[in-house]
Amino acid sequence: MPMTLRLVFAGTPDFAVPSLRACLASGADVVAVYTQPDRPAGRGRKLAPSPVKQAAQAAGVAVEQPETLRDAAARAQLAAHAPDLIVVVAYGLILPKSVLALPRLGCWNVHASRLPRWRGAAPIQRAILAGDAETGVDLMQMEAGLDTGPVLLERRTPIADDDTGGTLHDRLAELGADVLAEGLARVLRGEALAATPQPQEGVTYAHKLDKAEARLDWTESAIALARKVRAFDPWPVAEAEIHGERMRIWSAEPVASAVQAAPGSLVATHRDAIDVATGDGLLRIHELQRDGGRRVAVRDWLNARRDMARG
């Protein structure tokens, strides 16, 4: 028998917006949206609403922005919404046990990996950095541990050789909305979702990205460096010194080569690319950005560097 479902959604960045839209389209009664407080953004550092807040306001849904859910007043306000289910997608705040236990159906989380691999804050980028061939999205029943809860539903996707942190983010955001929509539809039909405990083997942690990681070490292999370029697009963007100039590198590929040159040496220029020696192989760079400049194709950078010979 179809049922009614009072739902609270908690999320903050762009990744969560497709999932919010899935909730709004599901037939559930989305009684409130929780998102982080407005933060300074842009050159003027003016307070800016999160993408989730903007989407919620456009849909006419009440928005709550507590600094924490650990104080009694915030928990009382949440309880007043009387949710049957709380859906959490990249919210950014810890849900205490008292909140996890509040809804009769508990709390669901949309997580951008195939658990237990890449629990934690940056699963998309860590999967690319590790050279994983596949990733996915899990709909998880939340518990007190960090991404340790049982999995309700899953979607998978291959990681292509040209996937970046940005392209994979967008694809997983849509897959997350898809798996969430299926879960909500089944619950609204009166089904009980089977919860599969995560295996004990294969646990890895996706630690938060640090901007310092984006500085390329030319002694690493070309394969590892190319993965960094892809993973750190669009943030924090790979950085390195090339021909005496500090650059951000936006697009590159590894090239197997027996060329003997010091790591970091510019060994060849082509019409549309440059080759830099690494600890193993060459990194062929196609797009870069000078300090204070804009992202450009290598051919445009070479046009401004007439002193450099073409290969």
Give the separation between CA 274 and CA 50, rounded to whole angstroms. Answer: 39
Reference 4, options 163, 177, 189; nearest CA is: 189
Structure tokens at 246: 């500090």
DSSP tag of 225: H
DSSP tag of 196: B
Please check whether residue 86 is in contact with residue 19, taking contact to mean a CB–CB distance below 8 angstroms: no
Number of Cβ atoms within 10 Å of the Cβ of 170 = 15
- Look at the block and give the residue holding tokens 């658990």: 115
Annotated ligand binding at 126? The verdict is no
Annotated ligand binding at 116? The verdict is yes
Q: Following DSSP, what letter does each residue of 247-303 receive, concatenated?
A: EEEEEEEEE-------TT-EEEE-SS-EEEE-SBSEEEEEEEEETTS-EEEHHHHHH
What does R_g of the chain's alpha carbons equal in angstroms?
23
Reference 230, options 293, 277, 285; nearest CA is: 285
DSSP tag of 168: H
Structure tokens at 247: 């650059």
Annotated ligand binding at 123? The verdict is no
Annotated ligand binding at 49? The verdict is no
Please check whether residue 264 is in contact with residue 241, taking contact to mean a CB–CB distance below 8 angstroms: yes
Number of Cβ atoms within 10 Å of the Cβ of 262 = 9
Please check whether residue 129 is in contact with residue 141, taking contact to mean a CB–CB distance below 8 angstroms: no
Helix (H/G/I), strand (E/B), else coil: 169 = helix
Residue 264 Rama label (left phi>0; alpha psi -120 to 50; beta): left
Binding site as annotated, residues for (6S)-5,6,7,8-tetrahydrofolate: 113-116
Q: Which residues are annotated as a binding site?
A: 113-116
